[in-house]
Structure 1
């Protein structure tokens, strides 16, 4: 900068505000030069336009017309981020109302400009402490603004203005909210800063304050009324030394860890509201984890039961075409099973017929299910005998009155724990000898007890119990599961030929397995959707709270912008606050969800734990914070510094 070139040059600066369709011209052609190292006071009554002029000088606002050159560079050519960088490097602001961040300590308030300049935390903390100590606040570093007097708060504001160097100090009514002694001390500090080489511009309405400057510019109705320099004013000489260059380029963002710290301070400041916001996320995430754990458990249970039946089975059942009007469906006969055995790829064909029967032993009567079948039943159904023997072909051929009982029947008819093998029970008042006990099988589809059964030879059952020659189902086990569909077609063709009509329904376990998997997946999607709705409601709560937070902290946003925060810094800070809430809520929700799933497991519900639903739920919470926090964050980042600073 040449000797003749002023530090600040304003030419015909005009500023017009619009109140609806009404235009109010606040500045009416301000032309002004300020040299580096001057101590200038701009005085004017309320409404004269002096604060608007200060906002334009400090790049907090832009003129409607005219030119503003700073060190010969046209400020109007700079975008929002470039203006933020200019404020960060060049200006230090001292406000009448101090504009300290209420949730931060004195040290943290002073550090703010250096955060956005990319100064490492240890360096900026040391410099902030040094400045506060020099301003006689060394014992107040950890005090919040509410714990400081007005004069102390203004000294914190001065330290903040000097944090990044503050080549140009803009002081807006610096003594307006102070008592006379504190006001005197502040003016002495400003004089000291001027002597250290800072260009000091004081905006005031008090003449006694303005007269302490070397140059006094009086403004009225948006125009300069007078511009006088004291005869005894020291020659203008800037001895100000530029601070160290910024560590980051214009594309950089503020320190992530600092953003998280600021977010945590803001959340602690409104702890009750934060808890309510967390509650929505917690309910949503815990619902997702619990619902998906229960849904996956139910799916696994269904698939385990189907797999227990085997994937190489074909089920043959009569259709309604075989209904005779007698209450039974007369279609399948044991001979059909024998014919199926002659087909290729057939390992076994097991006909079955069942009926509800009354069992008796001693003075115990019990209603159960009798199942007449053949010796291949045990292998085809993968159901082994725990004790004794299963029915044999000899039992079939001799119509032997023998029975193999399930575990439930054993416990009911033999409560004394005696060995049932060889003992007799009555089935429909007919004595049958117990020759075996099946292994426990557990609940089947629909929750039915598969162990509540008595298995007898098919021939004996049809002759002595059921009084019919027809069977209810034929379970076919194939040798090669890859050919199961072809085998199914061959069985259908065989039965259609034997019965001279299509009166059977044939399905294989592969198709049943696929149908069951589809149904269980639908169940999981349904449960997950219900839980996701809860998470959506929580997300809306986050957005609502963040919008309220932006409104309440508008002045803080203005302070951050005045100290050099870029739009992306403000955007990042509020998004991180939203993500912090969502992440904390997500972590708690995951823990509660796993806890609820554990309680459900203790209650007998089959629950499946897997990392997938947990990761999904937490990721959804994180995404919720990002998506629903973006709009409030964007709103905050779009605020104009001058407008934000005047917010109440």
Structure 2
């Protein structure tokens, strides 16, 4: 629970910044190093203070504590009379955003952003509108002599110009307090003089300037000189005031930006970062693209194969029961003679039976002038079209009268029609079937291949009486096909047929196959294969997600200093997390879109090569959702790591 801010006693109540008994130590293994020792310090608003000391004296640590980048190990720090000891990380970020402006020795500009974007960074986290903050950034850069360098990135600017951009950034939100850490350390003498002149002007304009330096010449520009050695203040001297200063700056606190504005800025920053590392971004995208494309194409192929098999079986009739001679699991049962046409007649009289037809089939030789071939001939009843849901395209099917008269008439399939009558209409033509002359009275509709690859159109259908007597010389049938009227009662009808035949034969010398059960079994098998393909594809998507996480972790490591700069300019933990989460999500979503496009294109190519595929919305939505979740899940850990970085350690990273 946060402790409420405590009002300081009147001794420090009028001071801008007050330190009381501040100590700072660092723990490295079992070794403790104390950097600051019981520092007491007051800084008034509008002062120009130089803190001087040699390297390792603790001056930079003191600056970090003054700027709320670091916390002391002990003691109290008061800002405008209120203790900051119990402020949360986000409250400290808001304080840095509204009150402080940092000018670093190494500039700490964002390499991928131009001068304007670097300057407006603090205003992003204070929620200023885009147009307003951009206009102010341009004005500040113009006042500092950089009007012709607005769109230049840090790598295109000299050291002095980069430091001016850093100063402009410090002033973006008002810059009540300017903390300058060795601002001239990386500059030549001329640029250094210019920067110190700027800081002097800021002091005269009412800004509180705290200068950290080891150079006595640089420190001479200040009105107050504080010398620190071995973590202790050894002297504190003020110069007589010779210049008229403006009243001290005091910018009122700002509210945090709205969530929508934060998300928009995070998205813009993420795109800029991804563009700055295009090659790495493309490699990251590759894993997601391959995963999404695999999910779409593999599911399309799997479902296409499943649908084709189901369609082929269904084309034979999903409402059919097929009765075969021989007991179940009996070897050589196809040669058993146990079924007769009267069995079909008896089954046809059962309730819910639409038709029951015997079938006696075998290969026979067909002949016509100049044509000779082997074809399957099927002797059956006139109700065969009703049972098989397969009707003549031209002509007619034979009738019960044809069966009674043992008529030599035939109905042929499309394949037979093309091969035996390529030059004429087969209707009314004569055909020798095993040396018996038949007249063609009809041509069946085209049906295509069976699920087992057999050409169903390569067939000649003849009356059962004619075929059994004149072609096959037997009455025992090869199978009986039973068409069920109401498929919801398929199981009951199956049982009734079984009981009827068992009663007629006395023994179970027959086998009944349920086409609906075959379709169901085949569908389950194909579903298993489709799931297997989908799992393989999802695994590749997960591998792509791990790649995203690895790249984002590398990105956090590489951009640690950038994270520190953002925190120093007012970014809260949520801002940092949003930025890296949105980068991961952007990579995943762009990869998802590319994967969807490539997956659909690949599926189309595979389809053009003759492989059956089935386009569906679900696999596309599934793949894209997986890409989104990949970015969300695998981007969380890197984003969380980035948001929990310590500002001081982040700024000190190389």
- Shorter-chain-normalised TM-score: which range? over 0.9
Seen in structure 2, the aligned counterparts of structure 1 residues 487 and 562 have a Cα distance that, compared at 3 Å, is: same
Shift of 1:327: 6.0
CA distance in 2, matches of 1:354, 1:31: 110
CA RMSD of aligned residues (A): 2.3
**Segment of structure 1 superposing worse, 420-429 or 274-283:** 420-429
Counterpart for residue 576 of structure 1 = 582
Tell me whether 1:404 sits opposite 2:449 in the alignment. Answer: no
Q: Does 1:293 align with 2:287?
A: no
Select which of 117, 134, 155 maps to 1:125: 134
Residue 540 (structure 2) pairs with residue 531 (structure 1): no
Q: Where in structure 2 are the equivalents of 1:88-99 lying within 5 Å?
A: 88-99=97-108
Assess if the C-alpha contact under 8 Å between 2:360 and 2:477 holds in 1. Answer: yes
Question: Does residue 460 of structure 1 match 2:469?
Answer: no
Q: Distance in 2 between matches of 1:211 and 1:232?
A: 13
Query: CA-to-partner distance for each residue in 1:92-146, whole Å, 9 max, x for gaps?
Result: 1111111110011100111111111111111111111111111111111111111
Deviations 1:239-271 (A, max 9, x none): 31415733537xx47532222221111111111
8 Å contact kept, 1:253–1:568? no
Greater alpha carbon shift after TM alignment, 318-327 vs 529-538: 318-327
Match of 1:168 in 2: 177
SS at match of 2:211: strand
- Could you list the per-position Cα deviations for residues 138-190 of structure 1 after superposition, in whole angstroms to 9, with x for gaps in the alignment? 11111111111111111111111111111111111100011111111111111
- Structure 2 counterparts to residues 150-549 of structure 1, below 5 A: 150-232=159-241, 238-242=247-251, 245-246=254-255, 248=257, 252=259, 255-321=262-328, 323=330, 328-416=335-423, 418-549=424-555
Q: Deviations over 1:565-588 (max 9, x none)?
A: 111111110111111111111111
1:358 to partner: Cα distance = 4.0
Query: Structure 1: which 5+ residue stretches go unaligned?
Result: none
Which residue among 563, 574, 579 is the counterpart of 1:557? Answer: 563
CA distance in 2, matches of 1:235, 1:5: 21
Equivalent residue for 1:591? Answer: 597
**After superposition, what is the alpha-carbon deviation per residue over 1:422-480, rounded to whole angstroms, capped at 9, x for unaligned?**
33334445443332211111232134322222222233333344444332332222333
User: Aligned to 1:76, what secondary structure does the other structure show?
Assistant: coil
SS at match of 2:373: strand
* Aligned twin of 2:3: none
Query: Which deviations, in whole Å up to 9, do the C-alpha atoms of 1:334-373 show, x marking residues without a partner?
Result: 2211111222222210222333444444444434322222
- Matched-pair contact (CA < 8 Å) for 2:13–2:81: no
Higher mean C-alpha displacement, 180-189 vs 314-323: 314-323
Shift of 1:310: 4.2
Q: Quote the Cα distance in structure 2 between the aligned partners of 1:637 and 1:367.
A: 79
Q: 1:238 to 1:361 in 2, by over 3 A?
A: farther
Question: Would the alpha carbon gap of residues 293 and 326 (structure 1) be closer, same or farther in structure 2, given more than 3 Å must change?
Answer: closer
Q: Check whether the contact 1:281–1:535 (CA below 8 A) recurs between aligned residues.
A: yes
SS at match of 2:85: helix
Task: Give the whole-Å Cα distance in 1 for the aligned partners of 2:402 and 2:497.
Answer: 28
Corresponding position of 2:49: 40
SS in 2 for 1:256: helix
Contact 1:96 1:173 (8 Å CA) reproduced: yes
- 1:324 CA drift (Å): 7.8
Q: Matches of residues 44-63 of structure 1 in structure 2 within 5 Å?
A: 44-63=53-72
8 A Cα contact 1:322 1:331, kept in partner: no
Asked whether the 8 Å contact 2:328–2:511 carries over to 1, the reply is: no
2:290, 2:541 within 8 Å by CA — same for their partners in 1?
yes
1:300 Cα deviation from its structure 2 partner:
3.2
**Structure 2 vs 1, CA of residues 168 and 486 (structure 1 numbering), >3 Å: closer, same or farther?**
same
How far residue 238 of structure 1 moved from its aligned partner, in angstroms, is 4.3
Q: Residues 54-76 of structure 1: CA distance to partner in whole angstroms, max 9, x if unpaired?
A: 11111111112221111122212
Is 2:25–2:34's contact at 8 Å kept on the other side of the alignment?
A: yes
Alignment equivalent of 1:637, drawn from 620, 631, 643: 643
Query: Relative to structure 1, is the Cα distance of residues 329 and 38 closer, same or farther in structure 2, using a 3 angstrom cutoff?
Result: farther
- Give the whole-Å Cα distance in 1 for the aligned partners of 2:640 and 2:453: 54
Counterpart secondary structure, 1:421: coil
Question: Contact conserved, 1:105 with 1:144, CA < 8 A, in 2?
Answer: yes
Could you list the runs of 5+ residues in structure 2 that have no partner in the other structure?
1-6
Q: CA deviation at 1:384?
A: 1.3
TM-score, L = length of structure 1: 0.94
Matched, 1:108 2:114: no
What does residue 606 of structure 2 align with?
Answer: 600
- Is residue 15–residue 65 contact of structure 1 (8 Å, CA) maintained in 2? yes
Q: Closer, same or farther in 2 for the Cα pair 1:337/1:432, shift >3 Å?
A: same
